[in-house]
């Protein structure tokens, strides 16, 4: 099959294919050529080769739940279906008790991670969120706390008059273990001014993640794709992440996040087809040669597309979620009540021909199924 695919490609594509198979890093121009000219079968072949080089036949998942403290946000990004201004009847703002009650719902449940992210609330400061981290740590000292996107961190740390290193140190002392990847969107400054003019820019996002890594806090990285961006802008985004990973090695996984059109001001753009999702997963796995994992976030793509992505380089299906996130359901994802049991995740992974591995936040093995 490999020879058949290669025999039907031109000399430039064969050279790029050889580079990937040999483990040589692609340049941005080579990545763009591959993205624009390779057919899906070649993309799948190359991405699967890289995935197996990284993690063999393993596909990972964890037992996790989310807390979304508020959808009140000082920003109003054009792509966002989650944002509500203060006073809007559809806004919410969980009290500290309500947040901790979510944690208590999982008493006796063998979860390994809580994921906390939400809107950038105008009134909440770093110590408010720090107290929540500390209270969660007291309730569940056994679980990892992954909390606050770079956009949330930028606001709360600047409001406190601290440097990023100082603010992250304070939050680490309260109980923060790692940070999620949200808020990256697309790094290109021209496009960013169009879709999220007000929020933290690419340099801020990268600086916060670099400061976290230097403090021993791991993180994930994301990219919002499938709206107004070009393939070259996606590649530029990934290259910037690859360069930071070269310096720090602190990213656990890259997560492509699909734009969903419902209830936002970019509705007219529509959504890309699943073939485009797969091409993007494959390019991510091929280009980000220093990332150990590429995650298919199934509440965004849907379970079927996430399962398909395992043939295009993804090696992680996120986690059980247990109906604790509304970000993508509000944007029109078919997963309106996102939850999967460990039994379902294991069955999905096995059905794709891979070996299920339950992990913790930093990809240490919890159980091989």
DSSP notation for 97-122:
HHHHHHHHTTTT----EEEE-----S
Task: Give the strand pairing for 64-67 and 355-359.
Answer: unpaired
Domains and CATH numbers, the chain: 45-368 (3.20.20.70)
What is the pLDDT, as a whole number, of residue 338? 58
Comparing 23-37, 89-103, 171-185, 352-366, the range with the smallest average pLDDT is 89-103
If we measure between CA atoms, which residue out of 289, 359, 272, 275 comes closest to residue 59? 359
- Cβ 73 vs Cβ 88: under 8 Å: no
Residue 237 and residue 124: Cα distance in Å, rounded?
Answer: 30
Task: Please state, in angstroms and as integers, the Cα–Cα distance from residue 292 to each residue in 58, 183, 341, following that order.
Answer: 12, 21, 25
Q: Is the pLDDT of residue 87 over 60?
A: yes
Share of the chain above pLDDT 90, in %: 79
Buried b (16+ CB within 10 A) or exposed e, 112-121: bbbbbbbbbb
Q: Is the pLDDT of residue 91 over 50?
A: yes
Beta bridge partners of 218: 178
Give the pLDDT band of residue 84 (cuts 50, 70, 90): confident
If we measure between CA atoms, which residue out of 59, 69, 52 comes closest to residue 123? 69
* pLDDT single digits (tens) 102-155: 999 999 999 999 999 999 999 999 999 999 999 999 999 999 999 999 999 999
- Summarize the confidence of residues 300-312 as an average pLDDT: 92
What is the pLDDT, as a whole number, of residue 270? 84
Residue 116 and residue 130: Cα distance in Å, rounded?
Answer: 12
Q: Is the pLDDT of residue 9 over 90?
A: no
Buried b (16+ CB within 10 A) or exposed e, 256-272: bbbbbbeebebbeeebe
296: how many CB neighbours lie within 10 A of its CB?
Answer: 26
Q: Is the pLDDT of residue 337 over 70?
A: no
Task: Please state, in angstroms and as integers, the Cα–Cα distance from residue 269 to each residue in 53, 93, 263, following that order.
Answer: 37, 30, 12
What is the pLDDT, as a whole number, of residue 205? 98
What is the pLDDT, as a whole number, of residue 324? 52
Give the pLDDT band of residue 335 (cuts 50, 70, 90): very low
Q: Where are the alpha helices (DSSP H) in 105-230?
A: 126-139, 150-159, 164-174, 189-195, 202-214
- Summarize the confidence of residues 163-186 as an average pLDDT: 97
**Average pLDDT score over the chain:** 91
What is the pLDDT, as a whole number, of residue 328? 42
What DSSP state is assigned to residue 27? P
Q: Phi, psi (5° rounding) for residue 257?
A: -115, 120
Residue 240 and residue 297: Cα distance in Å, rounded?
Answer: 21
Contacts of 23 (CB under 8 A, 6+ apart): 53, 289
If we measure between CA atoms, which residue out of 31, 108, 113 comes closest to residue 316? 113
* pLDDT single digits (tens) 190-227: 999 999 988 999 999 999 999 999 999 999 999 999 99
Give the pLDDT band of residue 74 (cuts 50, 70, 90): very high
What is the pLDDT, as a whole number, of residue 153? 98
155: how many CB neighbours lie within 10 A of its CB?
Answer: 22
| Total-model pTM | 0.93
Give the pLDDT band of residue 90 (cuts 50, 70, 90): confident
305: how many CB neighbours lie within 10 A of its CB?
Answer: 17
- Cβ 186 vs Cβ 224: under 8 Å: yes
The helix, strand and coil proportions of the chain, stated in percent and rounded to the nearest 5, come to 45, 15, 40
What is the pLDDT, as a whole number, of residue 327? 47
* pLDDT single digits (tens) 233-274: 999 999 999 999 999 999 999 999 999 877 777 788 888 999
If we measure between CA atoms, which residue out of 44, 14, 55, 48 comes closest to residue 279? 44
What is the pLDDT, as a whole number, of residue 224? 96
Residue 196 and residue 201: Cα distance in Å, rounded?
Answer: 9
* pLDDT single digits (tens) 41-67: 999 999 999 999 999 999 999 999 999
What is the pLDDT, as a whole number, of residue 22? 95
């Amino acid at each position: 099959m490999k020879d058949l695919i290669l025999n039907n490609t031109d000399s430039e594509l064969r050279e790029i294919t050889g580079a990937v198979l040999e483990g040589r890093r692609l340049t941005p121009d080579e990545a763009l050529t591959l993205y624009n000219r390779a057919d899906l079968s070649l993309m799948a072949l190359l991405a699967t080769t890289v995935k197996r080089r990284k993690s063999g036949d393993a596909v990972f998942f964890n037992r996790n739940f989310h807390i979304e403290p508020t959808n009140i946000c000082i920003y109003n990004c054009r792509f966002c279906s989650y944002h509500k201004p203060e006073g809007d009847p559809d806004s919410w703002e969980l009290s500290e008790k309500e947040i901790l009650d979510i944690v208590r719902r999982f008493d006796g449940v063998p979860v390994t991670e809580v994921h906390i992210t939400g809107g950038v609330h105008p009134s909440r400061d770093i110590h408010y969120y720090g107290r929540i981290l500390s209270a969660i740590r007291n309730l569940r000292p056994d679980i990892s706390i992954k909390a606050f996107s770079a956009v949330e961190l930028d606001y709360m740390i600047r409001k406190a008059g601290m440097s990023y290193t100082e603010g992250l140190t304070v939050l680490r002392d309260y109980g923060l273990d790692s940070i999620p990847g949200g808020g990256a969107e697309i790094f290109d400054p021209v496009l960013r001014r169009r879709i999220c003019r007000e929020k933290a820019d690419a340099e801020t996002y990268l600086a916060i993640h670099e400061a976290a890594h230097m403090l021993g806090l791991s993180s994930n990285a994301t990219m919002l794709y499938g709206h107004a961006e070009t393939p070259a802008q996606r590649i530029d985004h990934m290259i910037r992440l690859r360069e930071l990973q070269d310096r720090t090695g602190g990213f656990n996984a890259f997560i492509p996040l699909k734009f969903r059109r419902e209830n936002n001001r970019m509705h007219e753009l529509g959504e890309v087809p699943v073939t485009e999702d797969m091409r993007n997963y494959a390019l991510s796995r091929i280009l980000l040669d220093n990332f150990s994992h590429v995650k298919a976030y199934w509440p965004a793509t849907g379970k079927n597309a996430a399962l398909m992505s395992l043939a295009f380089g993804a090696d992680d299906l996120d986690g059980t979620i247990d109906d604790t996130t509304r970000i993508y359901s509000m944007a029109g994802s078919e997963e309106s009540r996102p939850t999967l049991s460990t039994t379902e995740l294991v069955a999905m992974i096995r059905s794709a021909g891979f070996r299920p591995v339950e992990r913790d936040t930093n990809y240490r093995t919890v159980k091989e199924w």
